Amino acid sequence: MVLGAKRKKFPVFQLNSMTLLNKRLIAVLHDALMSGLALALAIAARYGFNNLPPTEKYMGWVGLFVIISLIVFKLSGLGRGLWRFASLADLRAIVIAATATISVFVICLFLISRLDGLPRSVPFITWFMMIVMIGAPRLAYRALRDGSLKRVANIQKPDTDIQHVLLAGRVGDAEHVIRTYQLETTGRYKVHGLICTDKKRGGHSIRGIPILGDVADLKNLVERLQRTDIAPDAILSVSSRPPSDFTKILTSAAADLGIPIKRATPRPLDLSEPDFSELTIDDLLGRPPVKLDRSKMNNLISGRVIIITGAGGSIGSEVVRQVLKYAPSRLVLIENSEFALYNIDQELGLTAPTLSKRPVLADVRDRDRIMEIVSTEKPSIIFHAAALKHVPLMEENPLEAIQTNVLGTRNVADAAAAHSVDGFVLISTDKAVKPTSIMGATKRAAEAYCQALDVSGTHTRFITVRFGNVLGSNGSVIPLFRKQIEAGGPVTITHKDMRRYFMTIPEASELVLQAAAFSVDNSNQRGRIYVLDMGDPVKIVDLAKILISLAGLRPEKDIKIKFTGLRPGEKLFEELFEADEDNQPSGADGVIVATANLLPLDKMSQKIEDLGKSVKLGSNDLCILKLGEIVPSLHKDSMDLKAAPFK
């Protein structure tokens, strides 16, 4: 070697390729040698070691068999499988390769010597021995790498660091989780059984883990384990979409027992011990996923200018994220909170740096400002999510609710009509149905105005989408309950019988887009209201118990539940339709069409105008009275006032 000469360096990928080729070569040679050994042992078993055929013939058979096996294994790719991940697929490949090798060997030997001297049972013995001798090392290697062979060493280990868990869900899902997370061999978790969705599966086992019984027997099963000094630390939900009845019974029983419910998280890439996260309340709705018509949603948004009001709120910001998936040409974000607008603008800067966007700090109450924005931007679709929504606060501040929810909606809707926007989507609420609260009445008035515009013959389609409570939205009951639980309780509920409809934020936002996509070009549904299908209403007290259980605590024992009485404007039950509203499928999955009552545009405009004049006078009583003329179900003490006509 010449001094000063540079040593030749091989790229890392070349070294890796060479290592991989060497491993494959070793694997093929191993399989071929095992094949030859299998034939040699089969012949010896048939003849006996003292009466073997002549050495020349014996070794010729074995040599020919090894050569054939090398060729067959190479062609079949048997050596390409990684032993670390040996599975039933590899065993099937071994069976096929062994069958092909023996078949070719028998044919070749028949053509050479008419099988002279070869017992007819030898190929069958060889076939079984090949499968065992080629397959067993693979399985042993996988067991060694996966830690399965450490079981014996772990028998005497203390269980101080082991978490005792029960699985809950479908058998197929349980098998997948056990296999993926290797729960039979992990040193961190001890699985004591599966709580199954199928009563008939009790008494069986899966991967060595017993199926203990149905979810209805959970309390008895836990008590039985506790009698053996085993207290389950958690219940691991293994099904992403278990039956809703199963979920309700499981969460209720777990809450009473004070056992947290968890779910599997993606396994670390380094194959270290798995971890399980707390089950969220979103996971417990138990509804089947809605089929979204993404082609229609893409046609609605792709390449278009979209305006979203209230873009920094919990619903508005999620609508922004959903709209972003369909590649709008430009997004205009209208928000009156500087901090909320800053947050969503920063998020878009990170997730969509090339998107044309305009963050606008503006209030929907400012009619001239809204007109200027719509005139300048010329949007195709406006999603109107700006609203004041807190029921008790709006009871104390009716003028604010009216100015934002009614007059603000009128401003944005009028701007849409004046500038021939294709679609205006009003995001409404189930509290607008037979409202007894100021907030609900203002949203119903906004609905009625948009309905009147929709049937008036304008180019713009005015679409109202109505849904219930949104899990995790700003000011919703879930964050409040969590804060109360973290503080040690009590969890406060206004009434033990209160029920509400719930959706997740992404679920609600996706269905808003779905409803809009189906209705913009559907002129025969003008004046209708689109109601999102939210399944069955949930008792708030059950929701509180579930949240307490998810925190690993016991309702009424660790955390008290306190009933405080209904607040002003609250109802025990929310409804999705008026009694006289006809409802029918919309053609879009998860969306129902309601034919709500409506007034002609001229009458509706006059009522809104009168309401606006009463706001300028600053009289709460007069505003409530005028609002009650639009929404008759609003009953307040001030309704006995006699209103003078505005001049």
Q: Which residues have a catalytic role annotated? A: 431
Cβ-count burial of 381 within 10 angstroms (0-12 exposed, 13-18 middle, 19+ buried)?
buried
Task: Write out 619-641 in H/E/C secondary structure.
Answer: CHHHHHHHHHHHCCCCCCHHHHC
Query: What is the distance between the alpha carbons of residues 317 and 305, in angstroms, rounded to a whole number?
Result: 17
Residue of 212, 214, 227, 211 whose CA lies nearest to 175: 211
Q: Are 221 and 193 a contacting pair, CB within 8 Å?
A: yes
Count of other CB atoms within 10 angstroms of residue 629 = 14
Q: Are 330 and 348 a contacting pair, CB within 8 Å?
A: no
What single letter denotes the amino acid at residue 405? Answer: N
For strands 591-595 and 529-532, give the pairing. Answer: antiparallel
Half-sphere CA count of 606, side-chain side, radius 13 A: 8
* Farthest-apart Cα atoms in the chain, separation: 124
Query: What is the distance between the alpha carbons of residues 11 and 19, in angstroms, rounded to a whole number?
Result: 13
Strands (E), 528-621: 529-532, 538-539, 561-563, 582-585, 591-595
457 SS3 class: coil
For strands 423-429 and 461-467, give the pairing. Answer: parallel
Query: Which residues lie closer than 8 Å to 628 by C-beta, 6 or more apart?
Result: 441, 634, 635, 636, 639
Alpha carbon 262 to chain centroid, angstroms: 15
Instruction: Output the CA–CA distances (angstroms, integers) from residue 83 to 74, 138, 143, 144, in the order listed.
Output: 16, 5, 10, 11
Instruction: Output the CA–CA distances (angstroms, integers) from residue 97 to 23, 62, 92, 130, 339, in the order listed.
Output: 19, 17, 9, 10, 66
Which position has the token pair 């505005």? 646
Query: What is the distance between the alpha carbons of residues 545 and 519, in angstroms, rounded to a whole number?
Result: 40
Query: What is the distance between the alpha carbons of residues 491 and 485, in angstroms, rounded to a whole number?
Result: 7
Query: What is the distance between the alpha carbons of residues 251 and 544, in angstroms, rounded to a whole number?
Result: 11
Query: What is the distance between the alpha carbons of residues 569 and 314, in angstroms, rounded to a whole number?
Result: 23
Residue of 450, 451, 433, 437 whose CA lies nearest to 580: 433
Q: Are 328 and 301 a contacting pair, CB within 8 Å?
A: yes
Query: What is the distance between the alpha carbons of residues 553 and 559, in angstroms, rounded to a whole number?
Result: 7
Beta pairing partners, 190: 164
571 SS3 class: coil
Cβ-count burial of 267 within 10 angstroms (0-12 exposed, 13-18 middle, 19+ buried)?
middle
Residue of 206, 140, 122, 216 whose CA lies nearest to 172: 206
Q: For residue 376, what is the enclosing H or E element? A: helix 367-377
Dihedral angle of Cα 247, 249, 251, 254, to the nearest 10 degrees: -140
